[in-house]
Amino acid sequence: MKKSIGIAFQISAVFIGTIVGAGLASGQEICQFFTIYGYKSFLGILVCSFIYIAIGYMIIDLSLKYHLSSYNELINLVSPGFIGKVTDIITGLFLISSAAIILAGSGSLLHQYFGVSKWIGISIMSLVSIFTLFKNTKGLIAINSFIVPSLIIVIVTIFILYLMFNKNIVSVTYIKSIPYNKNYWLLSTFLYGGFNILCCSGVLVPLSLEFKNKKSLVYGVILGSLGLTVLSLIINLLLLLNVPYIFKYDIPLLYIANRFGKLIQLMLLFIILCEMFSTEVSNIYSVGKTLEHAFKIPYKKAVILIMIIALPISQIGFVNLITILYPSFGAISLVFMLQCSYFYLKHRKVR
Protein backbone atom coordinates (compact mmCIF):
# COMPACT_ATOMS: atom_id res chain seq x y z
CA MET A 1 0.00 0.00 0.00
CA LYS A 2 2.78 2.44 0.98
CA LYS A 3 4.63 1.57 -2.21
CA SER A 4 1.54 2.34 -4.34
CA ILE A 5 1.06 5.70 -2.61
CA GLY A 6 4.75 6.48 -3.11
CA ILE A 7 4.51 5.68 -6.83
CA ALA A 8 1.40 7.88 -7.16
CA PHE A 9 3.23 10.85 -5.59
CA GLN A 10 6.27 10.26 -7.82
CA ILE A 11 4.08 10.16 -10.95
CA SER A 12 2.25 13.32 -9.86
CA ALA A 13 5.58 15.14 -9.35
CA VAL A 14 6.81 14.13 -12.82
CA PHE A 15 3.44 15.06 -14.35
CA ILE A 16 3.48 18.54 -12.77
CA GLY A 17 7.18 19.07 -13.49
CA THR A 18 6.78 18.12 -17.15
CA ILE A 19 3.85 20.46 -17.76
CA VAL A 20 4.88 23.44 -15.62
CA GLY A 21 8.11 24.49 -17.31
CA ALA A 22 9.53 27.99 -17.13
CA GLY A 23 6.53 29.41 -19.02
CA LEU A 24 4.00 28.51 -16.34
CA ALA A 25 6.36 29.19 -13.41
CA SER A 26 7.00 32.71 -14.74
CA GLY A 27 3.28 33.33 -15.24
CA GLN A 28 3.68 33.97 -18.98
CA GLU A 29 1.75 30.88 -20.19
CA ILE A 30 -1.15 31.42 -17.78
CA CYS A 31 -1.24 35.05 -18.85
CA GLN A 32 -1.41 34.26 -22.57
CA PHE A 33 -3.78 31.29 -22.45
CA PHE A 34 -6.08 32.22 -19.57
CA THR A 35 -5.70 35.59 -17.80
CA ILE A 36 -6.57 37.65 -20.90
CA TYR A 37 -10.06 36.09 -20.75
CA GLY A 38 -10.85 37.63 -17.36
CA TYR A 39 -13.01 35.75 -14.85
CA LYS A 40 -13.75 33.06 -17.48
CA SER A 41 -10.10 32.04 -17.19
CA PHE A 42 -10.91 30.17 -13.95
CA LEU A 43 -13.43 28.02 -15.81
CA GLY A 44 -10.84 27.40 -18.53
CA ILE A 45 -8.31 26.14 -15.97
CA LEU A 46 -10.91 23.74 -14.52
CA VAL A 47 -11.73 22.41 -18.01
CA CYS A 48 -8.00 21.95 -18.58
CA SER A 49 -7.80 19.81 -15.44
CA PHE A 50 -10.52 17.53 -16.84
CA ILE A 51 -8.54 17.22 -20.10
CA TYR A 52 -5.41 16.17 -18.20
CA ILE A 53 -7.25 13.53 -16.16
CA ALA A 54 -9.36 12.13 -19.03
CA ILE A 55 -6.65 11.96 -21.71
CA GLY A 56 -3.99 11.00 -19.14
CA TYR A 57 -6.13 8.02 -18.10
CA MET A 58 -6.56 6.98 -21.74
CA ILE A 59 -2.80 7.20 -22.38
CA ILE A 60 -2.01 5.02 -19.35
CA ASP A 61 -4.72 2.48 -20.20
CA LEU A 62 -3.62 2.20 -23.84
CA SER A 63 0.07 2.03 -22.87
CA LEU A 64 -0.55 -0.88 -20.50
CA LYS A 65 -3.01 -2.70 -22.76
CA TYR A 66 -0.83 -2.52 -25.88
CA HIS A 67 2.56 -2.64 -24.10
CA LEU A 68 3.70 0.71 -25.51
CA SER A 69 7.15 2.05 -24.70
CA SER A 70 7.33 5.56 -26.25
CA TYR A 71 5.12 8.40 -27.42
CA ASN A 72 5.60 7.57 -31.12
CA GLU A 73 4.16 4.08 -30.54
CA LEU A 74 1.11 5.70 -28.95
CA ILE A 75 0.73 8.11 -31.88
CA ASN A 76 1.09 5.27 -34.41
CA LEU A 77 -1.50 3.24 -32.50
CA VAL A 78 -4.24 5.88 -32.37
CA SER A 79 -3.35 7.47 -35.72
CA PRO A 80 -1.65 4.94 -38.04
CA GLY A 81 -2.02 7.00 -41.23
CA PHE A 82 -0.50 10.18 -42.66
CA ILE A 83 -1.75 12.42 -39.85
CA GLY A 84 -0.06 10.15 -37.32
CA LYS A 85 3.27 10.41 -39.12
CA VAL A 86 2.97 14.20 -39.25
CA THR A 87 2.07 14.28 -35.53
CA ASP A 88 5.08 12.08 -34.72
CA ILE A 89 7.51 14.25 -36.71
CA ILE A 90 6.19 17.58 -35.36
CA THR A 91 6.20 16.24 -31.77
CA GLY A 92 9.83 15.14 -32.09
CA LEU A 93 10.82 18.47 -33.68
CA PHE A 94 8.97 20.39 -31.00
CA LEU A 95 10.58 18.51 -28.10
CA ILE A 96 14.11 18.87 -29.52
CA SER A 97 13.54 22.54 -30.39
CA SER A 98 12.16 23.16 -26.89
CA ALA A 99 15.29 21.56 -25.44
CA ALA A 100 17.43 23.87 -27.58
CA ILE A 101 15.41 26.95 -26.58
CA ILE A 102 15.80 26.06 -22.90
CA LEU A 103 19.58 25.78 -23.33
CA ALA A 104 19.63 29.24 -24.90
CA GLY A 105 17.29 30.58 -22.21
CA SER A 106 19.44 29.27 -19.36
CA GLY A 107 22.47 30.96 -20.90
CA SER A 108 20.59 34.26 -21.28
CA LEU A 109 19.17 34.12 -17.74
CA LEU A 110 22.59 33.71 -16.09
CA HIS A 111 24.11 36.29 -18.44
CA GLN A 112 21.38 38.82 -17.67
CA TYR A 113 21.49 38.50 -13.88
CA PHE A 114 25.14 37.58 -13.20
CA GLY A 115 26.98 39.00 -16.22
CA VAL A 116 28.71 35.71 -17.10
CA SER A 117 29.14 34.31 -20.61
CA LYS A 118 26.01 32.65 -22.03
CA TRP A 119 28.09 29.55 -22.73
CA ILE A 120 28.58 29.05 -18.98
CA GLY A 121 24.82 28.76 -18.46
CA ILE A 122 24.40 26.55 -21.52
CA SER A 123 27.28 24.29 -20.45
CA ILE A 124 25.98 23.94 -16.89
CA MET A 125 22.44 23.12 -18.09
CA SER A 126 23.79 20.59 -20.62
CA LEU A 127 26.11 18.77 -18.23
CA VAL A 128 23.63 18.61 -15.32
CA SER A 129 20.88 17.44 -17.70
CA ILE A 130 23.07 14.67 -19.14
CA PHE A 131 24.10 13.55 -15.63
CA THR A 132 20.44 13.38 -14.55
CA LEU A 133 19.27 11.68 -17.76
CA PHE A 134 21.94 8.99 -17.44
CA LYS A 135 20.10 7.89 -14.30
CA ASN A 136 17.14 7.15 -16.57
CA THR A 137 13.68 7.12 -14.94
CA LYS A 138 15.16 7.43 -11.43
CA GLY A 139 16.82 10.70 -12.43
CA LEU A 140 13.58 12.07 -13.87
CA ILE A 141 11.67 11.23 -10.69
CA ALA A 142 14.42 12.50 -8.37
CA ILE A 143 14.64 16.01 -9.84
CA ASN A 144 10.86 16.49 -9.95
CA SER A 145 10.48 15.20 -6.39
CA PHE A 146 12.65 18.16 -5.33
CA ILE A 147 11.59 20.84 -7.82
CA VAL A 148 7.79 20.46 -7.62
CA PRO A 149 7.51 20.88 -3.80
CA SER A 150 9.91 23.86 -4.07
CA LEU A 151 7.70 25.39 -6.76
CA ILE A 152 4.57 24.95 -4.62
CA ILE A 153 6.26 26.53 -1.58
CA VAL A 154 7.44 29.60 -3.53
CA ILE A 155 4.12 30.21 -5.35
CA VAL A 156 2.04 29.74 -2.18
CA THR A 157 4.43 32.05 -0.27
CA ILE A 158 4.01 34.82 -2.88
CA PHE A 159 0.22 34.27 -2.81
CA ILE A 160 0.00 34.51 0.99
CA LEU A 161 2.18 37.63 1.06
CA TYR A 162 0.05 39.24 -1.63
CA LEU A 163 -3.18 38.51 0.25
CA MET A 164 -1.69 39.89 3.47
CA PHE A 165 -0.84 43.23 1.84
CA ASN A 166 -3.81 43.51 -0.55
CA LYS A 167 -6.85 42.22 1.33
CA ASN A 168 -9.22 44.92 0.09
CA ILE A 169 -9.02 44.30 -3.67
CA VAL A 170 -9.51 40.50 -3.63
CA SER A 171 -13.25 40.23 -4.31
CA VAL A 172 -15.55 38.59 -6.87
CA THR A 173 -16.98 42.00 -7.83
CA TYR A 174 -13.53 43.41 -8.56
CA ILE A 175 -12.44 40.34 -10.56
CA LYS A 176 -15.60 40.51 -12.72
CA SER A 177 -14.93 44.20 -13.42
CA ILE A 178 -11.47 43.53 -14.93
CA PRO A 179 -11.48 44.10 -18.74
CA TYR A 180 -11.13 40.88 -20.74
CA ASN A 181 -11.25 39.29 -24.18
CA LYS A 182 -14.71 37.74 -24.50
CA ASN A 183 -13.94 35.36 -27.35
CA TYR A 184 -12.02 32.11 -27.86
CA TRP A 185 -11.41 31.22 -24.17
CA LEU A 186 -12.59 27.63 -24.75
CA LEU A 187 -10.42 27.20 -27.86
CA SER A 188 -7.45 28.58 -25.92
CA THR A 189 -8.17 26.06 -23.13
CA PHE A 190 -8.26 23.09 -25.52
CA LEU A 191 -5.10 24.26 -27.30
CA TYR A 192 -3.24 24.58 -24.00
CA GLY A 193 -4.57 21.31 -22.59
CA GLY A 194 -3.84 19.34 -25.78
CA PHE A 195 -0.45 20.97 -26.16
CA ASN A 196 0.59 19.87 -22.67
CA ILE A 197 -0.94 16.38 -22.66
CA LEU A 198 0.78 15.46 -25.94
CA CYS A 199 4.11 16.62 -24.47
CA CYS A 200 3.35 14.70 -21.29
CA SER A 201 2.65 11.50 -23.24
CA GLY A 202 6.42 11.38 -23.80
CA VAL A 203 6.92 10.58 -20.11
CA LEU A 204 3.58 8.90 -19.26
CA VAL A 205 4.06 6.08 -21.79
CA PRO A 206 7.58 5.04 -20.61
CA LEU A 207 6.52 5.40 -16.96
CA SER A 208 3.55 3.09 -17.60
CA LEU A 209 5.96 0.49 -19.00
CA GLU A 210 8.28 1.00 -16.02
CA PHE A 211 5.75 0.75 -13.15
CA LYS A 212 2.89 -1.29 -14.72
CA ASN A 213 0.62 -0.39 -11.77
CA LYS A 214 -2.46 1.15 -13.36
CA LYS A 215 -4.06 2.28 -10.13
CA SER A 216 -0.93 4.11 -8.92
CA LEU A 217 -0.34 5.65 -12.35
CA VAL A 218 -3.93 6.93 -12.62
CA TYR A 219 -3.91 8.27 -9.04
CA GLY A 220 -0.63 9.99 -9.87
CA VAL A 221 -2.16 11.73 -12.91
CA ILE A 222 -5.25 12.75 -10.91
CA LEU A 223 -3.12 14.07 -8.03
CA GLY A 224 -0.80 15.85 -10.45
CA SER A 225 -3.73 17.38 -12.35
CA LEU A 226 -5.36 18.65 -9.14
CA GLY A 227 -2.04 20.07 -7.90
CA LEU A 228 -1.44 21.73 -11.25
CA THR A 229 -4.97 23.15 -11.23
CA VAL A 230 -4.54 24.71 -7.78
CA LEU A 231 -1.19 26.22 -8.79
CA SER A 232 -2.66 27.58 -12.04
CA LEU A 233 -5.68 29.07 -10.23
CA ILE A 234 -3.38 30.82 -7.73
CA ILE A 235 -1.09 32.20 -10.44
CA ASN A 236 -4.09 33.27 -12.54
CA LEU A 237 -5.66 35.14 -9.60
CA LEU A 238 -2.38 36.94 -8.87
CA LEU A 239 -2.09 37.95 -12.53
CA LEU A 240 -5.71 39.08 -12.84
CA LEU A 241 -5.32 41.32 -9.80
CA ASN A 242 -2.39 43.01 -11.54
CA VAL A 243 -3.94 43.65 -14.97
CA PRO A 244 -2.87 45.58 -17.09
CA TYR A 245 0.65 46.01 -15.62
CA ILE A 246 1.61 42.34 -16.08
CA PHE A 247 1.37 42.62 -19.88
CA LYS A 248 4.52 44.78 -19.94
CA TYR A 249 6.76 42.02 -18.50
CA ASP A 250 8.28 38.79 -19.84
CA ILE A 251 8.12 37.33 -16.32
CA PRO A 252 4.80 38.64 -14.89
CA LEU A 253 5.19 36.85 -11.55
CA LEU A 254 8.55 38.55 -11.02
CA TYR A 255 6.78 41.91 -11.29
CA ILE A 256 4.38 40.79 -8.53
CA ALA A 257 7.21 39.35 -6.41
CA ASN A 258 9.29 42.55 -6.66
CA ARG A 259 7.32 44.25 -3.88
CA PHE A 260 8.30 41.52 -1.39
CA GLY A 261 12.07 41.99 -1.51
CA LYS A 262 15.15 40.47 -3.12
CA LEU A 263 14.89 37.12 -1.34
CA ILE A 264 11.48 36.32 -2.83
CA GLN A 265 12.68 37.47 -6.25
CA LEU A 266 15.74 35.22 -6.08
CA MET A 267 13.59 32.29 -4.92
CA LEU A 268 11.29 32.77 -7.93
CA LEU A 269 14.23 33.07 -10.34
CA PHE A 270 15.71 29.89 -8.87
CA ILE A 271 12.40 28.06 -9.39
CA ILE A 272 12.15 29.29 -13.00
CA LEU A 273 15.67 28.01 -13.65
CA CYS A 274 14.78 24.68 -12.00
CA GLU A 275 11.65 24.38 -14.11
CA MET A 276 13.70 25.04 -17.25
CA PHE A 277 15.93 22.18 -16.13
CA SER A 278 12.94 19.92 -15.39
CA THR A 279 11.42 20.55 -18.82
CA GLU A 280 14.80 20.05 -20.51
CA VAL A 281 15.22 16.65 -18.87
CA SER A 282 11.61 15.59 -19.60
CA ASN A 283 11.83 16.57 -23.29
CA ILE A 284 15.16 14.81 -23.90
CA TYR A 285 13.97 11.77 -21.90
CA SER A 286 10.86 11.54 -24.14
CA VAL A 287 12.81 11.69 -27.40
CA GLY A 288 15.58 9.46 -25.99
CA LYS A 289 13.10 6.71 -25.14
CA THR A 290 11.59 7.00 -28.62
CA LEU A 291 14.99 6.66 -30.31
CA GLU A 292 15.82 3.72 -28.04
CA HIS A 293 12.71 1.72 -28.94
CA ALA A 294 12.11 2.89 -32.51
CA PHE A 295 15.69 2.85 -33.83
CA LYS A 296 17.39 0.57 -31.26
CA ILE A 297 19.82 3.34 -30.28
CA PRO A 298 21.06 2.79 -26.69
CA TYR A 299 19.35 5.27 -24.36
CA LYS A 300 22.53 7.02 -23.18
CA LYS A 301 23.81 7.41 -26.75
CA ALA A 302 20.40 8.79 -27.73
CA VAL A 303 20.65 11.39 -24.95
CA ILE A 304 24.09 12.52 -26.15
CA LEU A 305 22.88 12.62 -29.78
CA ILE A 306 19.88 14.81 -28.88
CA MET A 307 22.11 17.18 -26.89
CA ILE A 308 24.58 17.41 -29.79
CA ILE A 309 21.68 18.36 -32.10
CA ALA A 310 20.20 20.83 -29.60
CA LEU A 311 23.42 22.72 -28.82
CA PRO A 312 23.96 24.31 -32.25
CA ILE A 313 20.22 24.97 -32.64
CA SER A 314 20.37 26.94 -29.37
CA GLN A 315 22.59 29.50 -31.14
CA ILE A 316 20.09 30.20 -33.94
CA GLY A 317 17.37 32.85 -33.87
CA PHE A 318 14.15 31.09 -32.93
CA VAL A 319 11.50 33.62 -33.91
CA ASN A 320 10.61 32.03 -37.27
CA LEU A 321 10.90 28.50 -35.89
CA ILE A 322 8.61 29.21 -32.94
CA THR A 323 6.13 31.12 -35.12
CA ILE A 324 5.69 28.03 -37.32
CA LEU A 325 6.27 25.19 -34.87
CA TYR A 326 4.18 26.27 -31.86
CA PRO A 327 0.87 26.87 -33.69
CA SER A 328 1.44 23.67 -35.71
CA PHE A 329 1.99 21.71 -32.52
CA GLY A 330 -1.10 23.27 -30.94
CA ALA A 331 -3.27 22.24 -33.90
CA ILE A 332 -1.74 18.76 -34.05
CA SER A 333 -2.36 18.31 -30.32
CA LEU A 334 -6.09 18.93 -30.78
CA VAL A 335 -6.21 16.31 -33.55
CA PHE A 336 -4.26 13.90 -31.30
CA MET A 337 -6.74 14.34 -28.44
CA LEU A 338 -9.69 13.63 -30.73
CA GLN A 339 -8.02 10.59 -32.29
CA CYS A 340 -6.90 9.25 -28.91
CA SER A 341 -10.43 9.65 -27.49
CA TYR A 342 -12.03 8.03 -30.55
CA PHE A 343 -9.62 5.08 -30.52
CA TYR A 344 -10.03 4.55 -26.78
CA LEU A 345 -13.84 4.64 -26.87
CA LYS A 346 -13.93 2.37 -29.91
CA HIS A 347 -11.65 -0.27 -28.36
CA ARG A 348 -12.46 0.10 -24.65
CA LYS A 349 -14.33 -3.22 -24.52
CA VAL A 350 -11.56 -5.10 -26.31
CA ARG A 351 -9.37 -6.93 -23.82
pLDDT at 110 over 80: no
Torsion of CA 81, 87, 88, 90, to 10 degrees: 140
Over pLDDT 70: what percentage of the chain? 93
- Highest mean pLDDT range out of 262-266, 269-273, 286-290, 329-333? 286-290
> What's the pLDDT score for residue 112?
67
d(CA 12, CA 6): 10
Instruction: Report residue 144: phi and psi, to 5°.
Output: -75, -30
Over pLDDT 90: what percentage of the chain? 50
Report helix angle 262-294 to 82-114, nearest 10.
Answer: 150
Which domains are present in the chain?
Answer: 2-345 (1.10.4160.10)
Q: How confident is the model at residue 328 (pLDDT cuts 50, 70, 90)?
A: confident
d(CA 299, CA 290): 9
Tell me the H-state helices in the chain. Answer: 2-26, 28-33, 40-65, 71-78, 82-114, 118-133, 136-165, 172-177, 185-211, 214-240, 252-257, 262-294, 299-313, 319-347
> What's the pLDDT score for residue 53?
97
Torsion of CA 21, 323, 92, 305, to 10 degrees: -80
pLDDT at 343 over 90: yes
pLDDT tens digits, residue range 312-324? Answer: 887 764 445 555 6
Contacts for 34 with CB less than 8 Å, ≥ 6 apart: 41, 44, 45, 185, 188, 189, 192, 232, 236
Task: Name the pTM for this structure.
Answer: 0.89
Mean pLDDT of the chain: 87
d(CA 159, CA 31): 16
pLDDT tens digits, residue range 15-72? Answer: 999 888 767 878 888 988 999 999 999 999 999 999 999 999 999 999 999 999 999 9
DSSP string across 12-37: HHHHHHHHHHHHHHHTHHHHHHTGGG
Query: What is the distance, to the nearest Å, from the Cα of residue 48 to the centroid of all Cα atoms in its chain?
Result: 13
pLDDT tens digits, residue range 150-172? Answer: 999 999 999 999 888 876 666 77
